[in-house]
Amino acid sequence: MSKKVLTTPSAPPAMGPYSVAVEANGFVFFSGQVGLLPEGGRAEDDVNIQTRQ
């Protein structure tokens, strides 16, 4: 199984010993994502807005 650790400067860094996301066998797995904005603070309380940010 091949895997690739994904990072982006548009997201806050991981706050623990894990990757923000990992791609494996055509799937992308996200870990520990919360509704925070890169510049700090919380995103709106709407899961759709948090997903798109």
Q: Provide the pLDDT for residue 23.
A: 94
Distance CA 47, CA 21 (A): 18
Q: Which helix (H) or strand (E) is 29 found in, with range?
A: strand 27-30
The pLDDT assigned to 2 comes to 86
Q: What is the pTM of this model?
A: 0.52
pLDDT attached to residue 32: 66
Q: What are the residue boundaries of the structural domains of the chain, listed by start?
A: 3-10+17-52
pLDDT tens readout for residues 1-44: 788 988 888 776 767 777 888 999 999 988 766 777 777 777 77
Cα angle 16, 20, 21; round to 5: 140
Residues 40 and 35: their CA atoms lie apart, in Å, by 10
Half-sphere exposure in the Cβ direction for 16 (13 Å, CA): 6
